Amino acid sequence: MKKRRNWIVAIVLASLIGLTLLAPRNALQQQGSTYNRAPNGYGAWYAYLEEQGIPVRRWQRPVEELGLATEDPTDATAPVTRSITFVQINPVPRSPSPIEQEWARVGHTVVLVGIQTPVTAAPFSSVLDSPQGKVRIETRRRYPEAGGADKSRLGDDEGSVVWEQAVGKGQVIYINTPYFAANAYQDEAGNIPFLAALVAEPGHPVWVDEYLHGYRDPDILAEEKRGNAFAYLVRTPVLLVAIQALVLLLLAVWGDRRLGPPLRVEPAKTDSNATYIGALGSVLNKAKSSEFVMETVGRHEQEQIQRSLGLGVDPVEPDQLLEAWTQQTGQPATELQSLLAPVVQKRRLRERELLLWLENLRQVRRHLP
């Protein structure tokens, strides 16, 4: 019986692995795509470029083929006749790579949105002045070394959010936060116009990398499909396929109980707790009672933080809690203070502010001892 259970577990695990490998691209890959109309997409920014008459197109081929790019929409394989501006909006921040340096060295401009930079003492949410208007930045990360070969284009006392680096005949422009001009910031005065002016400044045709987000030109898509299915069958020996089919057949009839006894359909059990929580959440959402959610969740989380810091569950003074946080985690007090402040103020938050507060809560949990 135990051996049979082990076989079932092995089959289930193999099925899960197969489903994981065959699953479609996840939501993370869609972050930063100009096709994406969600808050983390860049559809509004792309539409703004078109409205301003800035020549912009989407690149849906491997980055290695950039040498074949053209601004002529009738021929996507003709050689480059002049410099271009190539924009990559990374779903998650990454480190710069040498390939961008080589591409810029011959005279192109590369704009990288979403570059890993260190956490600083800057506030999580700040508004920076720019020629295009106020730019809202919601990250504590900055690039503190802008200077020398690097030129800061937007920043504050803690460092740069946007900076550029001259490389050969071209340049590479870095932006640390991947959400700089996302759809969530289209109501801000300067976010989208600033990035639009930045990519248009060199005067080159603008290409936006959508291959990075899973989009493909038809010929590339057809080639990948052939490589994933037909090419595999061509390379696979017939004997190996037959052995695999035989193993699957043996597993299907294993135990001499192919169908098994009839099973009685049990009525679905209702989880009253989940139903109640779902109904309560729906009511609070319609009533826009974010302050009630903040107070309830915030009080519970403060107890958990105090317990993790060895302060017990009874409420303590904020200064005492912040001091214990700084000493035991090594993180600045502002990180925890930005989590506690909205709870103490008991003010109603907009949906985006509530999501940012929950993101801050996740960061605090990560640093707890």
pLDDT tens by residue, 317-352: 777 777 777 777 777 877 777 777 666 556 666 777
State residue 145's pLDDT score: 78
The residue from 158, 192, 215 where one domain ends is 215
Going by pLDDT thresholds of 50, 70 and 90, the confidence category of residue 71 is very low
What are the phi and psi torsion angles at 93 (to 5°)?
A: -60, 140
For residue 74, pLDDT over 50 is answered with: no
Q: What is the mean pLDDT of residues 177-183?
A: 96
Tokens (6 digits) for 112: 């990288």
Q: How far apart, in whole angstroms, are the C-alpha atoms of residue 201 and residue 85?
A: 10
For residue 107, pLDDT over 70 is answered with: yes
Same domain, 196 and 63: yes
Q: Which has more confidence, 102 or 299?
A: 102
174 is in which domain, residue-wise?
28-215
Same domain, 210 and 236: no
Count of C-beta atoms within a 10 Å radius of residue 309: 20
Same domain, 296 and 320: yes
The residue from 215, 235, 266 where one domain ends is 215
State residue 19's pLDDT score: 46
Tokens (6 digits) for 122: 């800057």
Closest to 185 (Cα-Cα) out of 142, 250, 135, 111: 135
For 104, counting Cβ atoms within 10 Å of its Cβ (0-12 exposed, 13-18 middle, 19+ buried), the class is: buried
pLDDT tens for 10-41 read: 665 555 454 454 444 456 788 999 999 999 99
pLDDT tens for 261-284 read: 667 777 777 666 667 667 766 766
pTM of the model as a whole: 0.54
Same domain, 51 and 186: yes
Q: How far apart, in whole angstroms, are the C-alpha atoms of residue 178 and residue 114?
A: 4
Same domain, 32 and 178: yes
Same domain, 229 and 348: no
Q: Which has more confidence, 84 or 258?
A: 84
Question: Angle CA(339)–CA(345)–CA(347) in degrees, nearest 5?
Answer: 100
Phi-psi region of 33 (alpha: psi -120 to 50; beta: other; left: phi over 0): beta
Q: What is the mean pLDDT of residues 297-309?
A: 75
Same domain, 310 and 338: yes
Lowest mean pLDDT across 52-66, 133-147, 333-347: 333-347
Give the chain's domain count: 3
State residue 154's pLDDT score: 96
Q: What is the mean pLDDT of residues 73-97?
A: 72
Q: Identify whether 21 is part of a domain.
A: no
